[in-house]
Amino acid sequence: MELLKLVIVDDEPILLQGLLDTYDWESMGFEVVGSAKSGVQALEVIRREQPHVVLTDIRMKQMTGLMVMEEIQKEQISCLFVVLSAYRDFEYAKHACDLGAYAYLLKPIDDEQLRSTMTGAYNTCIKQLRSEEKYESWEQLLLKDDDSFLQVVIQKYVQNLIPEEKITEVFSVLHDLPDNHDFFITVCADIDLVYKITNSLDYEASRYAVIQELEAHVFEHFSYWKFEGEDGNYVFIIKTQQKNAVRQIKTLLEQAKNEEKCPVIASISKPYKGISGIRKSYEEAQKLFGIASASGASAFTIPEDLEEQEDDLNQFSEDREIRIINSIRKNDFVELKETFIDFIYHLPKEEARQCQYLHKVMLRVQFMLQDTYGMNEDMKNQFANYYSNLNHLPAVKAVDVCYKILCRAIELRQEEAGKNETGYFKEYMAEAVAYIEEHLQEEDLSIIATAAHVYLNPVYFGRIFKSTFHMTFKQYLVKKRMDKAKRMLEEGDTSIRTICEEVGISNPSYFSQLFKQYTGKLPSEYKKEYEV
């Protein structure tokens, strides 16, 4: 394995040493060529070593990881940034993503997620390095394997890396110049990117099976060159003299797609003549593939009248994001769908900003899940795959992906709730208890208000509350009020009326009655026991 250069940055010496010593970076494809204990030192190391990847903490003194990223961008040093952040560093993480960070990892670092992220970063760097390599030794390649060589040359040609004169020269050397009877048709095919994100474990195997199926059905009838397109999809450039080839290819392609359970996206160009027709067919098929990919089977699409929508974006962001988060906390599919539709109908009209707002709400949901009860591996993988594919997702497709992940979050929460209902809702109960303590002096404090505060149905909340505390909400509220009254009576000269106000019972007679039921004594009798 070719080792790439890695620099690690953290201003906490113990954490930095842990990152350097704990992980087998070579097995992930990296050689640690430098480390830094501050942002300033990080800039020096990056400038000197020119690493392929930088793993850096976001929150550092004096110069943050974000400032390092901004400076490196200004200096046009090419490297990928993987950033580390705590659960509460939401704004930092969002800013890092805006600056183009490849990925971010939450502390404490999950070993599998780190390995997956670094593997993805390695593959991205290797692909970029390979694309930047100049093509050399044409004569040797021609002598060794003219067909493979021609395939590489055609790939470079359609991607505008080789001029038409050069590929014409290659065809001439091979004595294979196209004539007036030769047509070129390009087919682009792949699995829908949504499937990759939401079914990551099955994706590679399914993708391989799909391409094998397509080749078996379609391309055994034609001569073709096969390679990966600029966006990672499979490209087949077909050379044929059949006038009805497009119709035949389309029929065979549909047969192959119908045999596969996973969603296949494909496009076919019109036939074009001549060497220039190779590039025309490729560009047309790629454009059609982008349209097909963006408008594939969708749970949601951006409304056509979106450009007419105007809204206060600050209010949009805060209000609608909170509603989406709350619907997930309540495990309410109906409310999630309603709030998500409202969310996309009010997205800003620029596609880049649409993706930015989608990214932001996904970050907030992830932090909410982490802060409450955590996420299982399925959820972690789906969020990680979403973030790593952001650059390849048009806004329309990103909407579908986000909605499916949010629905899956609710499904997993419901599954977990069924296994251990009391334990599952312990965070909710802790928040409810804090709310009761804070509002104990309010006479209208009720189970409805408390349940609404933690975003649960009142009836369901009451059942979970009783299961957790072994008493009803009303009994718990009376107990808390009476315990507070006892403390105030024990502490000194506070009047009964003041105590009534502090415990949310305005009627002194009713308070005295409740107090006697709870302690067996009237407030005045209880107070005398603590008088000196």
Written as one string, the DSSP assignment of 134-198 is PP--HHHHHHH-HHHHHHHHHHHHHTTSS-HHHHHHHHHHTT----TT-EEEEEEEEE-HHHHHH
- Cα-based distances in Å from 437 to 180, 384, 430, 467, 498: 86, 38, 11, 20, 17
pLDDT bin (cut points 50, 70, 90) of residue 303 is: very low
224: left (phi over 0), alpha (psi -120 to 50) or beta: beta
Averaged over 358-373, what is the pLDDT? 76
Q: Which range has highest mean pLDDT (99-103, 115-119, 149-153)?
A: 115-119
User: Does residue 394 have a pLDDT over 70?
Assistant: yes
- Cα-based distances in Å from 291 to 196, 280, 286, 359: 18, 17, 9, 22
Averaged over 10-28, what is the pLDDT? 92
CA neighbor of 290 nearest in space, from 336, 241, 351: 351
Alpha helices in 346-394 (DSSP H): 351-372, 377-388
User: Mean pLDDT lowest for which of 18-27, 341-350, 406-415, 419-428?
Assistant: 419-428
Q: What is the pLDDT of residue 185?
A: 92
pLDDT bin (cut points 50, 70, 90) of residue 532 is: low
158 class by beta-carbon count within 10 Å (0-12 exposed, 13-18 middle, 19+ buried): buried
pLDDT bin (cut points 50, 70, 90) of residue 482 is: very high
User: Does residue 327 have a pLDDT over 80?
Assistant: yes
Q: What is the pLDDT of residue 76?
A: 87
Architecture category of domain 4-132 in CATH: 3-Layer(aba) Sandwich (3.40)
User: Does residue 451 have a pLDDT over 50?
Assistant: yes
Q: Running DSSP on this structure, what letter comes out for residue 38?
A: S
pLDDT bin (cut points 50, 70, 90) of residue 281 is: very high
| 3-class DSSP assignment, residue 216 | helix
Pair 529, 489: CB distance under 8 Å? no
User: Does residue 134 have a pLDDT over 70?
Assistant: no
Pair 55, 35: CB distance under 8 Å? no
Residue 350 phi/psi, 5-degree rounding, is: -75, 130
Crossing angle of helices 377-388 and 111-132, in 10° steps, is: 20
Domain range summary for the chain, segments of one domain joined by +: 4-132, 178-294, 304-416, 426-528
Buried b (16+ CB within 10 A) or exposed e, 500-516: beebbbeeeeebbebbe
CATH classification of 178-294 is 3.30.70.270, yes or no? Answer: yes
The answer for residues whose C-beta is within 8 angstroms of residue 358's C-beta and 6 or more apart is 347, 395, 398, 399, 402
pLDDT bin (cut points 50, 70, 90) of residue 458 is: confident
pLDDT bin (cut points 50, 70, 90) of residue 178 is: confident
Averaged over 329-348, what is the pLDDT? 85
Q: What percent of the chain has pLDDT over 70?
A: 86
Which residue do the tokens 């670092």 mark? 109
Q: What is the pLDDT of residue 228?
A: 84
User: Mean pLDDT lowest for which of 276-280, 319-323, 412-416?
Assistant: 412-416
Q: What is the pLDDT of residue 119?
A: 92
Q: What is the pLDDT of residue 430?
A: 78
User: Does residue 299 have a pLDDT over 80?
Assistant: no
Please give the residue that has the higher pLDDT: either 43 or 198: 43
Q: What is the pLDDT of residue 216?
A: 79
User: Mean pLDDT lowest for which of 3-17, 258-272, 298-312?
Assistant: 298-312
Q: What is the pLDDT of residue 250?
A: 85
Per-residue pLDDT tens digits for 194-234: 777 777 667 777 788 878 888 877 777 888 888 888 777 88
Please give the residue that has the higher pLDDT: either 54 or 470: 54
User: Does residue 39 have a pLDDT over 90?
Assistant: yes
Instruction: Just give the CATH number of 426-528.
Output: 1.10.10.60
Q: What is the pTM of this model?
A: 0.40
Q: What percent of the chain has pLDDT over 90?
A: 24
Please give the residue that has the higher pLDDT: either 22 or 313: 22
The answer for residues whose C-beta is within 8 angstroms of residue 167's C-beta and 6 or more apart is 153, 154, 157, 275
| 3-class DSSP assignment, residue 297 | coil
CA neighbor of 256 nearest in space, from 284, 219, 222: 219
pLDDT bin (cut points 50, 70, 90) of residue 297 is: very low
Per-residue pLDDT tens digits for 395-407: 778 888 889 999 9
Taking the C-alpha atoms of residue 470 and residue 232, their distance in angstroms, rounded to an integer, is: 57
